Structure 1
Amino acid sequence: MKKHLQPMHTRIAQNTGLQRREFLHTSALGLLVFAQPLSFLSTMTKESAMGVIVHSYSIRWNAKTESKTFPAFTDAIQLLEHCHELGAGGVQVTLNNWTSDFAKKVRDRREKLGLYLEGSIGLPKTADDVATFEKEVLAAKEAGAQVLRTVCLNGRRYETFNSAEAFSIFKKQSLQSLQWAEPIVKKHRIKLAVENHKDWKAAELLAILKGLSSPWVGVTLDFGNNISLLEDPMEVIKALAPYAFSTHVKDVGLAEYEQGFLMSEVPLGSGVIDLRTALDLCRKANPTINFNLEMITRDPLQIPCFSEGYWATFAQTPATDLAKTIQLVRAKKYPGTLPGVKNLDFEQKLAFEEKNVLDCLSYSKNKLGLG
């Protein structure tokens, strides 16, 4: 454990249907009363420091290669301790078959450190999966989570589906999964937040939520993902913020390539997202929302919007959306080369990942006033 508590500056030096008003009233504030003791109400309006999503440590999380400087995080407790050391307000972490005993250990450590916890959970794919889903919900609640982030698609829409029919099947399956999940989160009074995960356009996700018409199912609002679907990031944030239970805060760098454009998470303040406005929109809609950093250190993603295959599920997308997106890419092109990791060895990747998280948390505190 001491390895994880080594001062950070030392390590870096060592290695370079619902109506909006009804939805908000019942989900953002009203449900909080049921989920928390009365003592919590006195701190409702106090904003936490920026939290950290486990994906911000996608290289270090359960890494198989050993590192003395950046030892792997193998469970949520280690991630909590590290993020506390960095001054983060909490974590959003995957539920990896947590037992009740481990959930209690997470709760005890989280409470001692004074951090919030959000879970990340998979949806039931069949009726037989519902029991496992409920078990994970209970473990998350035992650990102190009030919000569970989930996704309908683990991949990317334009890479996964080669026809409108295939996407239509996925849509029906996703709705069924949410219909299985909703009674469980309602029963245990814990909120389920569906991410716009390069799968749903904003209007599609809103239609799903209105169809479910449940105050227990809302959004994990990712600030940048929908650029890959040719949607303006601020328009997406405006549309989804009223339904947001949680966030994935990121900034995005853009550049052209022959088949379309590249997009990459970049340190906060260096990309195209209007972070101040985005945070204000989320706060206005949900004063209790947590802001969770998703700074994934990786090579830029290719968005092949000039290729025929990209358009298999976007028959109704107007050409103006493509034109506006390319205009955004050209007008706000990332200065220099988008950051990547392909030319770094493993230790360098770890150091780069840590630096990115530290830079983002520093910007969050000093420029955005979080923490």
Structure 2
Amino acid sequence: MPLIQSRFATLIGQNLDAEESARIPELTPALARKLIERIDSVRLFAHAYTMLGNFTYGRFHPCDLLDHAYRHELDGICIHLLDGEERSLGQMSDSQLREVAAHASRLGLDVHLEISSTRRPDVDEVVRIARIMAVEHIRVYSRYEGLLSDVMKRVEADLRYLAELADRHSLHFYFEQHEELKSAEIADLLRTVGHSRLHALFDFGNMINACESPMDALRELAPYIGQVHMKGVRILKEADGFGHRGVLQGSADDDLPGARMLCELLMLGESKPQIIAFALEQENHYYAPMFRQMSEADDPFIPYREMSETGIPGGLSREALLEQEPRWAFNQIRYTRALLLRLRELAELRLQTAGTTSGC
């Protein structure tokens, strides 16, 4: 058993500091059984940002993302209303939206929608499209400018409006921590509004720009997390804070404790999994500058945040980008499934040493 625990700690201990390494749990039979159950039921989604170059500079269509997810035996897609330019969901007629929804249904895939706003006009539009497509799950995040205290008031008002819409149309909204707000601030907002259809979306790297550590951010948001964006990140020290650059998840360039976060997120929820979708959001070459500062005031000024975008990386032609994006996406699928398999194998070994089986 000590050998199995050592292998487990080595696997999920990558990129953890000494304090976090000391918090790695013991792989008990109970934890092993739960881990196996969660891995066997994990729902992996393709994320449109992984193919952003093909959506922006190529001819990628939402149905192409569905086909990609189907080919790789994923469970659904997460897609922004703007992905695909003139071919995007936001530019489609009602009949075209129904065609995309029908294609997803034929393939047995779920669709989750995303917008980069909490403003009423934007929210009303995504709800209109969600109802046409019979979509239940919508990602949002705020992009307000002003003192933090004022931003928090505006976001709280927006969340209360989202709660009304969620009840009215049987929807679920997921507020993503997106570099400008800290995880504790988001948790406070969700706790204050206190609505069962409002959740957090946990991104593997966005807390870096808010001067948070990944595991601290996860612990702050844990009671509220319903969806996850997985990716690899190179942490960049910038002035009085940190930026990040997207890299291949699990590569030597990835500074995140991705295996530890995945394991922790899988275990959320008592009788059933709390996370309904782990979206594979490989963001190779994406850059996000420092947003919050380590020595900021108690009520700091929050600057306006543009929507995320990634241009054509230096040294790559447009044609090369379009060719390589699907390879980067497959790289993440392969890495994630290999990691899940290694975790499951260790859990099985732990049960064998306890004289039990995974079916107990």
TM-score, L = length of structure 2: 0.68
Query: Which residues of structure 1 form unaligned runs of 5+?
Result: 1-43, 64-70, 154-159, 318-339
Alignment match of 1:315 (pick from 297, 303, 322): 297
Q: AA paired with 1:274?
A: P
RMSD (Å), alpha carbons: 3.1
Structure 1 vs Structure 2: percent identity of aligned residues? 21
Alignment match of 1:112 (pick from 106, 110, 121): 106
1:73-88 aligned at under 5 Å gives the runs 73-74=60-61, 76-88=62-74
Which residue of structure 2 aligns with residue 333 of structure 1? none
> Post-superposition shift, 1:206?
0.6
* Equivalent pair of 1:84/1:113 in contact (CA under 8 Å): yes
* Equivalent pair of 2:236/2:245 in contact (CA under 8 Å): no
Distance 2:247 2:277 in 1: 20
> Post-superposition shift, 1:341?
1.8
- In 2 relative to 1, CA 266–122 (structure 1 residues): closer, same or farther, beyond 3 Å? closer
Distance 1:142 1:368 in 2: 35
> Post-superposition shift, 1:99?
4.5
- SS of residue paired to 1:237: helix
- In 2 relative to 1, CA 175–259 (structure 1 residues): closer, same or farther, beyond 3 Å? closer
Q: Deviations over 1:76-102 (max 9, x none)?
A: 222211232233332101233355433
Which residue of structure 2 aligns with residue 140 of structure 1? 130
Does residue 1:295 correspond to 2:287, yes or no?
no
Which residue of structure 2 aligns with residue 331 of structure 1? none
Which residue of structure 2 aligns with residue 187 of structure 1? 168
Does residue 1:272 correspond to 2:252, yes or no?
no
- In 2 relative to 1, CA 280–304 (structure 1 residues): closer, same or farther, beyond 3 Å? closer
Alignment match of 1:53 (pick from 42, 47, 55): 47
- SS of residue paired to 1:368: helix
Q: AA paired with 2:79?
A: V
- SS of residue paired to 2:220: helix
- SS of residue paired to 1:221: strand
Residues paired across the two proteins, number: 281
* Equivalent pair of 2:209/2:241 in contact (CA under 8 Å): no
TM-score, L = length of structure 1: 0.67
Does residue 1:125 correspond to 2:119, yes or no?
yes
> Post-superposition shift, 1:152?
0.7
Which residue of structure 1 aligns with residue 5 of structure 2? none
1:1-371 aligned at under 5 Å gives the runs 47-48=41-42, 50-63=44-57, 71-74=58-61, 76-95=62-81, 96-97=89-90, 99-121=93-115, 123=117, 125-126=119-120, 129=121, 133-134=123-124, 136-153=126-143, 165-256=146-237, 261-270=242-251, 271-286=254-269, 287=273, 288-303=275-290, 310=293, 314-316=296-298, 341-369=313-341
* Equivalent pair of 2:248/2:284 in contact (CA under 8 Å): no
- In 2 relative to 1, CA 221–262 (structure 1 residues): closer, same or farther, beyond 3 Å? closer
Distance 1:262 1:94 in 2: 23
Distance 1:292 1:265 in 2: 15
* Equivalent pair of 2:118/2:155 in contact (CA under 8 Å): no
- SS of residue paired to 1:103: helix
* Equivalent pair of 1:141/1:190 in contact (CA under 8 Å): no
Query: Which residues of structure 2 form unaligned runs of 5+?
Result: 1-37, 82-88, 300-311, 344-360
Q: AA paired with 2:139?
A: R
Distance 2:294 2:263 in 1: 34
Q: Deviations over 1:273-323 (max 9, x none)?
A: 233332232233241521001112325444388xxxx568x3249xxxxxx
* Equivalent pair of 1:182/1:216 in contact (CA under 8 Å): yes
* Equivalent pair of 1:58/1:297 in contact (CA under 8 Å): no
- SS of residue paired to 2:178: coil
> Post-superposition shift, 1:48?
4.7
Q: AA paired with 1:55?
A: Y
- SS of residue paired to 2:100: helix
